[in-house]
Amino acid sequence: MAFLLPPLYPIMDASFLPSFERGAYLMRVVCELEDAGVTLLQYRNKHSIEEIPHDAVIIRGGATSAVTLIMNDHPELAVNAGFDGVHVGQGDVSPGSAREIVGPDRIVGISTHNLGQLKAADLMPVDYIAFGPVFATTSKLNSDPVVGLDGVCEARSLTSKPLVAIGGITLENARAVRKAGADSVAVISAMFGPDENPVKIAKDFLRIFR
């Protein structure tokens, strides 16, 4: 059965998590995001692999089975934490290797940044493809060139796999991104950045997608 992407794909980047009472914050936000209607959540930590198991246990404990949890980069840690899948980038473990590690029943997603990568990903054992950055983004250093809405349209024409648009997506442009062909929009700094209220923003995104 094909994996069905919800319209909103929040990515909780560890660089935005507070250092003080981090565990309590994680537990509260995960529970409140689920109550707000979030059904898919990725945890991403590019800075400290040592933090991942601790954070993952809290996230898994805060979410019920109604929320699909995705681990960025680390298929073994995804399995160990009881997450539902893994997301890999172009420089990470290959989707084939990730699939071998997580097995046939967990989700594997991949990031792509141009149409060549997307065409290659379409032939890989992945459940969805992320494509972007659609717009300029501040949540990733050395980001790839923006693909724009036209790029999303082209990507949609080249794959039947579920398509996640990522990069610079906000409440103001999210509907246009989905209209261009994305099944889902990934949101990082617009939701979890400094001074943002992730639960309120999740509700706002879900409201405009109704």
Instruction: Indicate which residue of 44, 99, 161, 178 is catalytic.
Output: 44
Count the Cβ atoms, other than its own, within 10 Å of residue 106: 20
Nearest Cα to 2, choosing from 117, 115, 163, 132?
163
Q: How much of the chain, in percent, has pLDDT values that exceed 90?
A: 89
111 is a catalytic site residue: yes
What was the pLDDT predicted at 1?
A: 55
**77 inside domain:** yes
Per-residue pLDDT tens for 106-133? 999 999 999 999 999 999 999 999 999 9
What was the pLDDT predicted at 31?
A: 97
SS3 call for 120: helix
Per-residue pLDDT tens for 136-172? 876 665 668 999 999 999 999 999 999 999 999 999 9
Instruction: Indicate which residue of 99, 106, 111, 139 is catalytic.
Output: 111
44 is a catalytic site residue: yes
**2 inside domain:** no
φ/ψ of 108, rounded to 5, equals -125, 125
| Sign, CA torsion 152/155/156/162 | negative
Q: Measure the CA angle with vertex 18, ends 14 and 20; round to 5°.
A: 135
Q: How confident is the model at residue 194 (pLDDT cuts 50, 70, 90)?
A: confident
| Residue count (the chain) | 210
φ/ψ of 160, rounded to 5, equals -100, -5
140 is a catalytic site residue: yes
What was the pLDDT predicted at 42?
A: 98
**36 inside domain:** yes
Per-residue pLDDT tens for 18-66? 888 999 999 999 999 999 999 999 999 999 999 999 999 999 999 999 9
**3 inside domain:** no
Strands 107-112 and 128-131: parallel
**55 inside domain:** yes
**73 inside domain:** yes
What was the pLDDT predicted at 140?
A: 61
**132 inside domain:** yes
| Structural domain harbouring 167 | 8-209
φ/ψ of 173, rounded to 5, equals -115, 0
In the chain, how many domains are there? 1
Instruction: Indicate which residue of 15, 22, 60, 140 is catalytic.
Output: 140
φ/ψ of 125, rounded to 5, equals -80, 65
Q: Report the CATH number that the domain containing residue 176 is assigned in CATH.
A: 3.20.20.70
Per-residue pLDDT tens for 63-110? 999 999 999 999 999 999 999 999 999 999 999 999 999 999 999 999
